[in-house]
Amino acid sequence: MEIYAKGMSCEQLNEAVRRCTDKRIDIRACNGQRFIACAGAGRSINVYGVAGNGAGAYMESGELRVYGNAQDALADTMGGGEIYVFGGCGDAAGYAMRGGEVYVRDNAGYRAGVHMKAYDKQFPVLVVGGRAGCFLGEYLAGGIIAVLDLHNEAAPLGEEAARGMHGGRIYVRGEVGVPLPECTAARRAEAEDMRLLEPYLRKFCAAFGGDVNALLADKFTVITPAENARAKRLYVSN
């Protein structure tokens, strides 16, 4: 099914998506309508234009592709499925993700990946092709965040990255470039680290182009929680 979204409110657009029984939906002329694919499951939704706040929020399965930019709160509390953004995204992408995978071709705004958490088979992944703003991975509890800095910006991360981190991993291609908090440890990624990251780099390159083997051969820094990360005491293991 194809939906021409120009002039539609977010309520009208989302109601049209809910009523549709097709497994694939193409949304044309999208201009910031919010909550596209919110709590979505089992369908492939392609958005042409700008996806508004909350795209893919609470998504459980299926696929969302945004051929343009996505605004704030992309994949908020996402539980499963895959999201591809053929542009950049605003602030708070992947906030409280519990599962699923998000691939952003260009830059991400502030507070991406805040409080992501893995549990049992749920394993959230956020890959950013450009750079990420301040507070990336704040209170990260599980999963993977990767910042590829493919445009070779002066610094791939903004200030206050990994503040309160107590689980998961953050990969940065090259050097981090900003001070990290005492709750973290940073080191050169080793072969085992890259084996964990490799399937997600392959998906990124398959979607957006690029040489995955060249990426895998690059130097990456991996950030993990320090052994004495005090924030661990504030959270239960599940």
Three-state SS for 201? helix
Q: What does the pLDDT read at residue 227?
A: 80
Residue 15 belongs to a domain: no
Nearest by Cα to 226 from 153, 125, 140: 140
In degrees and rounded to multiples of 5, residue 187 shows phi and psi of -155, 165
The total domain count for the chain is: 1
> Could you list the residue range(s) of the whole structural domain that residue 101 is in?
88-234
Residue 209 lies in a domain: yes
CA 61 to chain centre: 15
Q: Which residues of the chain have pLDDT under 50?
A: none
pLDDT number for residue 102:
98
Residue type, 158: G
Residue 82 lies in a domain: no
Is residue 158 domain-resident? Answer: yes
* Structural domain contains residue 40: no
pLDDT at 120: 87
**pLDDT of res. 237:** 58
Which CATH number goes with the domain that contains 109?
Answer: 2.160.20.60
C-alpha distance from residue 18 to each of 13, 83, 95 (Å): 9, 19, 24
- The per-residue pLDDT for 155 is 84
216 within some domain: yes
Of 154, 153, 196, 152, nearest in space to 171 by CA: 196
133 CB-side CA count, 13 A: 14
User: Would you say residue 1 lies in a domain?
Assistant: no
Please give the pLDDT value at position 214.
96
